[in-house]
Amino acid sequence: MFKIPKLIIKELEEYNQTVQQYLEGKISSSRFFGIRVPWGNYSHRGGKIFMSRVRIPAGRLQPEQLKILAECSKKYGKGSLHITTRQDIQIHGIEARDISAVHNSLKPYQLSSRGGGGNTVRNITASPLAGIHPEEPFDVSEDAVALSEKLLSYADNYRLPRKIKISFSGYPQDNTGVLANDIGFLAITKNHLCGYRVYTGGGMGAQSAKALVLEDFITRDQVIEVVTAIIRVFFKHGDRKNKHHNRLRFFIRNTGFERFKELYLKERQALQKNPPSPLRKIQFSYPAPSGNNRIKQEFFQEKEGRDFLKYNCVDQKQQGLKTVKLRIPQGDLRWFQAQQLATISQHIPGLEFRTTPAQNLYLTNIPASKLHLVYQKVKEISADFFYPETLADISVCKGATTCNLGLCDSPALARKLEEIICKNFTGTPIFETFSLNINGCPNACGRHPLGNLALQGAVRKVEGRPIPCYRFYIGGLPIPDSFKLAKDSGIILPAIKVPLFLKEVLSYLNQFNETELHTDDLLVDRVLPSIKKMAENFSSIPPYSKDKSFYRDIDKKEDFTLAGIGPGECGAGVLNIIEADLEEADQHLKAAE
């Protein structure tokens, strides 16, 4: 289990004092902005309430941790937990006066939002089936959690030129998206040694990029040395001024990969003289089932039960144990649902939860003989938990509902599309094999560059009026062995027409058999021309006087507006504090003059 570093515990006391100073009006909102964001506290649109992004290293979550997160959301937030595509959990709707209460409540449970924002190392993700997947050579989450502890304990890692994202994949078919990270580790074996192939320079958003191989093989004990060397290069040479083009991938592109590798090897060589202390040795244990560990089939005779076994359940490599996958629509879990799920641990002593990059929740270490108990409990809590990792399981960001950068209400579109998909495509080949991702703006919190099919929020203007629209992407694939970034099709449609357009696209794709759907060139080379022709029937926008619905977002009664959009907060840090101090000093100087 992850342990909060002593540095963070010490700094939390200072941060609580800063929050109090802000509440008392002793520091400006601009200065507070530069301090709170690296603590994972973002403002909602309007800047009056906040979100706390809690790190869940490797996505591993104990029942008591899920309970306290639910309690904090109920007591201090809006009553729901939002699972992100980086396996964090966000608590939304927090008043400024309650920020410290949330942090203090989470601390005893080894949970913290430190580094959830700002120019630092973000939550380190890992395969949600790490430690339990039959094909993995070893448990990569052990290294991911240990690395999280180490990097969070370095003060310099909160003053990077820009954020760094790190991911671990345990097996070739893992959809974590390891090649879409600044640093990616893919578990492999070489000469009977366990280790990693190391990738760097990947990322999503503006000018998404596939990561390049930096090291063909390193041993597990070399992870900290490799990461430290990469971060040192970025710390010393990265661009600290251009926030829009200063991610590691842009630095590598501008510097050249070979030159970057020279700088990296120089840092690794320097580390030989003064090596970083090794990672904490973590070894996760798993329960050993006893007695009859067969599924009690009599509880799964109805179609709903058979579908549960087919879509929600997978075997663990630990004999007799199962993992149950739960679909969490839009990544939002109500506080009482979270608490009810946590109580399942009363029947399953070794139960552990996993958050996933698909914004879902896994329940692991379930004896097959007790699977029916979990099934009954899951049914009681919510029917929405069924059909995870299908076409109906849409990955989506918060969009314009809370985000300062959100253009469109992406969760509303996701709900509309889920209805269409469940009604028309359940059980079809495309239902079981395709993914759909939605992002409310050009950023990639919904991982639209990795979707087989994907939508990205955009805005067009007709007669001077803004219209909510979406760009259509196609062909993304996040698994390491055949990684591809989704292609921008060039199709931009008004939001109101996207559901009908996508229904037609899915009907067209459904004519292909399962083998054809997995053919590499099918989506982009073979079907995109036909899809572009379909789009022509949905692209025209009438004048406002003829049809106002085009000028409104999904399920909205008021006209679409860009009011509320403000500067993004994810890159806030030391430079923002300096700018705020200079601005304040300038005001004092003018007043004195």
pLDDT(437) > 70 = yes
pLDDT band at residue 591 under the 50/70/90 scheme: low
For residue 337, what are the CA distances in angstroms to 328, 340, 357, 361? 11, 5, 20, 12
Nearest to 533 by CA among 510, 504, 554, 556: 504
Mean pLDDT of 392-403: 95
CB 212 within 8 A of CB 232: no
Which residue in the block uniquely carries the two structure tokens 């108990």? 373
Could you tell me the two tokens for 486? 């989704």
Q: What is the mean pLDDT of residues 517-526?
A: 76
- The CA distance from 80 to 72, in Å, is 9
Is the pLDDT confidence value at 444 over 60? yes
Lowest average pLDDT, out of 233-242, 375-384, 392-401, 570-579, goes to 570-579
Residue range 459-463: mean pLDDT, rounded: 94
DSSP 8-state symbol, 241: S
Helix (H, G, I), strand (E, B) or coil at 140: helix
Q: Say which residue the tokens 């679409």 belong to.
A: 560
Tokens, residue 558? 């008021």
* Residue 579 confidence (pLDDT) above 60: no
Of residues 147, 184, 161, 128, the one with CA closest to residue 363:
128
Identity (one letter) of the amino acid at 308? F
* Cα-trace Rg, the chain: 24
Phi-psi region at 288: left, alpha or beta (left = phi > 0; alpha = psi -120 to 50): beta
Q: Which two tokens stand for residue 515?
A: 């083998």
Structure tokens at 311: 């879509």
User: Which tens digit of pLDDT belongs to each residue from 249-286?
Assistant: 999 999 999 999 999 999 999 999 999 999 999 999 99
Strand 321-326 relative to strand 193-200, pairing: unpaired
CA–CA distance, 353 with 339 (Å, rounded to integer): 12
The whole-angstrom separation of Cα 515 and Cα 396 is 28
Q: Give yes or no for a contact between 282 and 142, defined as CB atoms under 8 angstroms apart.
A: yes
* Cα 170 to Cα 186: distance, rounded to the nearest angstrom: 6
pLDDT exceeds cutoff 90 at 514: no
Output the six-digit token pair for 549.
């619905």
Residue 140 structure tokens: 């990569």
The runs of H, that is alpha helices, within 165-256 are 223-237, 248-255
Say yes or no to pLDDT of 131 above 60: yes
- Structure confidence at residue 291 (pLDDT): 67
Question: What is the phi-psi region of residue 11: left when phi exceeds 0, alpha when psi lies from -120 to 50, beta otherwise?
Answer: alpha
Average pLDDT in the 448-459 region? Answer: 96
Integer Cα distance of 136 and 155 in angstroms: 34
Residue that has been written with the tokens 């120019």 in this structure: 119
- Residue-wise pLDDT for 197-253, tens only, equals 999 999 999 899 999 999 999 999 999 999 999 999 999 999 888 877 889 999 999
The burial of 450, by beta-carbon neighbours within 10 Å (0-12 exposed, 13-18 middle, 19 or more buried), is given as: buried
User: In this model, does residue 532 exceed pLDDT 90?
Assistant: yes
pLDDT > 70? residue 585: no
Strand pairing class (89-95; 80-83): antiparallel
Q: Which residues contact 427 (CB under 8 A, 6 or more apart)?
A: none
Q: How far is CA 576 from CA 15, 365, 448, 579, in A?
A: 16, 45, 29, 5
Instruction: Band the pLDDT of 577: cuts 50, 70, 90.
Output: very low
Q: How confident is the model over 152-189, as pLDDT tens digits?
A: 999 999 999 999 999 999 998 898 999 999 999 999 99
Q: How far is residue 321's CA from residue 294's CA, in Å, rounded to a whole number?
A: 10
| 253: amino acid identity, one letter | R
pLDDT of residue 553: 97
Give the integer Cα–Cα distance in Å for 271 and 126. Answer: 26
Share of the chain above pLDDT 70, in %: 95
Lowest mean pLDDT among 175-184, 372-381, 572-581: 572-581
CA distance 11 to 175: 35
> Could you read off the pLDDT of 542-562 as tens digits, one per residue?
999 999 999 999 999 999 999
Q: Would you say the C-alpha torsion 202, 444, 430, 358 has a positive or negative sign?
A: positive
Q: Which of 439, 547, 550, 444 is nearest to 500 (CA)?
A: 550
Query: pLDDT averaged over the chain?
Result: 93
Spatial separation of the C-alpha atoms in residues 431 and 426, rounded to whole Å: 6
Q: How many CB atoms lie within 10 A of CB 13?
A: 10
Q: How confident is the model over 335-368, as pLDDT tens digits?
A: 999 999 999 999 999 999 999 999 999 999 999 9
Predicted pLDDT of residue 140 = 98
* Main-chain phi, psi angles of 488, to 5 degrees: -70, 115
Residues 12-60 pLDDT 10s: 999 999 999 999 999 999 999 999 999 999 999 888 899 999 999 999 9
What is residue 179's DSSP assignment? G
355 touches 128 (CB < 8 A): yes
Nearest to 131 by CA among 321, 290, 2: 321
Taking Cα atoms as reference points, which of 358, 356, 354 lies closest to residue 390? Answer: 358
How many Å apart are CA 72 and CA 99, to the nearest integer? 10
